């Protein structure tokens, strides 16, 4: 096996370095993966720019990256479902398996969660990476490695739509047409939503949403008044949405989400903004609008994979830029500034399409 294990390591604010790291040794329940591609998430950029997200602080060098796919290069002694050469999507969070949350099936809430590129745990923008085998999902031959990497954000969309209870005939309002808003749109469609409106501050992103099948789009301005936009949403959609999924993290959109949701409906919060936000709680209470949180995903990877494998969801349109791992700085610059209408920026550890 090659000794080259070029790795993208975040040392601190504005300090990303490419360096050689030892190839990890695996334990019995792990696999070693020859990484193929890793897409950049807003949180990766946030750690680069701010060195922290809330209480998660980069205090020592951390390998970046968590939206990834790789090829099995070595298999631990107890691993039964994977073999060398299998192409896999990697679910990046490995929980403790034994706490109440894990036992109860809500492993995303496990306090001992080890999540790639969430300090202090290393991510997988590296040539060789080891991972718990049961969090590696073998890809069917016709699913590309890039699609495999995108199962990560897609799983957030699946979890959000499940938490909202999106189903046949739902009228869905999605706030934010970034990658998360867009995957949520794709999932809501596949779950049978009838009308789907998506809002953003950027027309270009709404154009992509339209292309992906949003039935309605609404261009917002930063100083819009939520109550007024809520009325606009209703008149444009012809109904009040019964499911709203907030994917911006802004106070305005969180307020809008509550005002816009039909009485008895559900407003799901995915966007992570300021730790405290002013929301019209009494309005929600008096109209029995449920406000629900979303934290990553839990048992959603298989559904995300099934959506892609069946062709019901096409995530390829989200990838706007490609870089080699040696161009990691340029890739982050593109993602960070949204250069050239960037939505998803893909970093290739192997030359593009090597493993497709």
The footprint of ligand NAD (CB under 6 A) covers 42, 156, 176-181, 199-202, 205, 220, 222, 247-250, 252-253, 270-272, 294-296
Residue 224 or 324 with smaller CB distance to ligand NAD: 224
Please choose which of ligand NAD, Zn ion, none residue 265 contacts, taking the beta carbon within 5 to 8 angstroms, the exact cut-off set by kind.
none
Closest contact distance (angstroms) between CB of 32 and ligand NAD is 27
* Partner in contact with 113, chosen from Zn ion, ligand NAD, none, beta carbon below 5 to 8 Å by kind: none
And the tokens for 156? 């957030």
Q: Which does 96 bind (CB under 5 to 8 A by kind): Zn ion, ligand NAD, none?
A: Zn ion
- 3-state SS, residue 324: strand
Contact in structure between 110 and 96 (CB atoms under 8 Å): yes
Q: Which residues contact 187 (CB under 8 A, 6 or more apart)?
A: 154, 157, 158, 160, 161, 166, 307, 313
Return residues touching Zn ion (CB under 5 A): 95-96, 99, 102, 110
In degrees rounded to 5, what are phi and psi of residue 10? -90, 115
Contact partner at residue 277 from Zn ion, ligand NAD, none, CB < 5 to 8 Å by partner kind: none
What DSSP string describes 56-122? EE--S-EE---EEEEEEEEE-TT--S--TT-EEEE--EE--SSSHHHHTT-GGG-TT-EETTSTTS-
Q: Which is nearer to ligand NAD, 127 or 205 (CB)?
A: 205
Q: Which does 45 bind (CB under 5 to 8 A by kind): ligand NAD, Zn ion, none?
A: none
- Give the one entry of ligand NAD, Zn ion, none that residue 102 binds, where binding means its C-beta sits below a cut-off of 5 to 8 angstroms depending on kind: Zn ion
The backbone region for 123, taken as left when phi is positive above 0, alpha when psi lies in -120 to 50, beta otherwise, is beta
Give the nearer residue to ligand NAD in terms of CB position, either 88 or 342: 342
- What is the nearest approach in angstroms of ligand NAD to the Cβ of residue 345? 11
Q: Which CB, 150 or 220, lies closer to ligand NAD?
A: 220
Q: How many helices (H) and strands (E) does the chain have?
A: 10, 20
Nearest to 324 by CA among 342, 345, 348: 348
Question: 200 vs 300, which CB is nearer to Zn ion?
Answer: 300
CB of 256 to ligand NAD, least distance (A): 8
- In the complex, residue closest to ligand NAD by CB: 178
Q: Is 81 left (phi over 0), alpha (psi -120 to 50) or beta?
A: alpha
Sort strands 15-20 and 6-12 into parallel, antiparallel or unpaired.
antiparallel
Q: How far is the CB of 54 from ligand NAD (least distance, A)?
A: 10
Pairing of strands 56-57, 52-53: antiparallel
Query: 95 vs 181, which CB is nearer to Zn ion?
Result: 95
Least separation in angstroms between CB 31 and ligand NAD: 25
């Amino acid at each position: 096996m090659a000794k080259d294990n070029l790795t993208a390591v975040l040392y601190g604010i504005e300090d990303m370095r490419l360096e050689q790291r030892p190839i990890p040794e695996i334990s019995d329940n792990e696999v070693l993966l020859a990484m193929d591609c890793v897409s950049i998430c807003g949180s990766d950029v946030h750690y680069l720019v701010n060195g922290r997200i809330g209480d998660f602080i980069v205090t020592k060098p951390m390998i970046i990256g968590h939206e990834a796919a790789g090829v099995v290069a070595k298999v631990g002694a107890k691993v039964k479902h994977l073999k060398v050469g299998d192409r896999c999507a990697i679910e990046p969070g490995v929980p403790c398996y034994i706490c109440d949350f894990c036992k109860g099936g809500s492993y995303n809430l496990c306090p001992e969660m080890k999540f790639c590129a969430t300090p202090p745990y290393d991510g997988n923008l590296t040539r060789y990476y080891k991972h718990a085998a049961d969090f590696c999902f073998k890809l069917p031959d016709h699913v590309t490695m890039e699609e495999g990497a995108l199962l990560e954000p897609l799983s957030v969309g699946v979890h959000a739509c499940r938490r909202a209870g999106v189903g046949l005939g739902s009228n869905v309002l999605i706030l934010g047409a970034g990658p998360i808003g867009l995957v949520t749109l794709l999932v809501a469609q596949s779950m049978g939503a009838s009308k789907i409106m998506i809002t953003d501050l950027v027309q270009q992103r709404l154009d992509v949403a339209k292309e992906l099948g949003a039935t309605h789009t609404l261009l917002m301005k930063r100083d819009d008044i939520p109550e007024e936009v809520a009325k606009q949403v209703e008149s444009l959609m012809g109904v009040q949405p019964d499911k709203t999924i907030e994917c911006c993290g802004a106070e305005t959109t969180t307020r809008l989400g509550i005002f816009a949701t039909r009485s008895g409906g559900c407003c799901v919060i995915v966007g992570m903004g300021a730790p405290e936000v002013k929301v019209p709680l009494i309005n929600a209470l008096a109209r029995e609008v449920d406000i629900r949180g979303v934290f990553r995903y839990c048992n959603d990877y298989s559904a995300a994979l099934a959506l892609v494998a069946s062709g019901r969801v096409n995530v390829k349109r989200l990838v706007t830029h490609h870089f080699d791992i040696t161009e990691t700085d340029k890739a982050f610059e593109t993602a960070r500034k949204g250069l050239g209408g960037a939505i998803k920026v893909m970093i290739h550890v192997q030359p593009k399409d090597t493993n497709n």
